Structures are given as structure tokens and as C-alpha cells.
């Protein structure tokens, strides 16, 4: 289990984009970090798009996809910001997230 902190900008962006309160921002960020699809597990056009975002932000951070939003965390698991996925990549997110969850829950 992670400890999540959110920057003021991260909490504000969640409040506006997800229609949630600032007090719920840590819970939503924790859910995204635990259940989301990491950038490293993506491929194709989705991976190219996320690589551009990764190199535009802090390269030591982590980019996670969850509920058709891009969640950008710093190295210390602090939510920096979140914003919606472009519509043309939304289907790719759903299929790759489903494959990731199957691999994650498969017995070894």
C-alpha cells in the first residue's frame, strides 16, 4: 500500500476534471496508482503518446492510466496532475488495461 500526497495543482485538477472534492483526491490518486496501467505496460500509438508526455514532464516520475485519465506522479508518489485521454486513444486504453489485469491476476 502506498502513501499518497497530492500537490495543490493535482487536487485542483482532479476537482475540476473528475468532479470530486479535494479531500477525496488522495483516495482517487491511490486507486489510480494501485489499479492503473503503467506507461511501461502499454504499446503502439498509446505508448508513443505517453512517451511524449513522459519526456515533457519529470522523467523520474510515473505515468499511469486509469478510468480514461492520465495520472502523472512524481518520484515520491505525489500526484502532480491528471487530465483526460484523447478520444482517439480511449479504446486502446480499455483493451490494454484489460490485458494488463489478466496478466496481473494470472497464477504463476
Cut 0.85: pTM above it = no
Q: What is the 3-state secondary structure (H, E, C) of the chain?
A: CCCCEECHHHHHHHHHHCCCCHHHHHHHHHHHHHHCEEHHHCCHHHHHHHHHHHHHCCCCCEEEEECCEEEEECCCCEEEEEEECCHHHHHHHHHHHHHHHHHHHCCC
Tens of pLDDT, residues 26-36: 888 889 988 89
**What's the confidence (pLDDT) of residue 77?**
82
Amino acid at each position: 500500500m502506498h502513501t499518497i500526497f497530492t500537490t495543490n495543482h493535482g487536487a485542483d485538477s482532479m476537482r475540476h476534471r473528475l468532479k470530486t472534492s479535494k479531500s477525496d483526491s488522495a483516495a482517487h490518486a491511490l486507486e489510480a496508482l494501485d489499479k492503473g496501467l503503467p506507461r511501461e505496460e502499454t504499446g503502439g500509438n498509446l505508448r508513443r503518446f505517453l512517451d511524449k508526455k513522459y519526456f515533457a514532464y519529470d522523467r523520474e516520475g510515473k505515468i499511469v492510466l486509469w478510468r480514461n485519465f492520465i495520472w502523472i506522479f512524481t518520484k515520491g508518489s505525489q500526484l502532480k496532475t491528471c487530465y483526460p485521454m484523447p478520444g482517439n486513444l480511449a479504446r486502446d486504453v480499455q483493451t490494454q488495461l484489460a490485458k494488463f489485469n489478466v496478466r496481473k491476476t494470472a497464477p504463476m
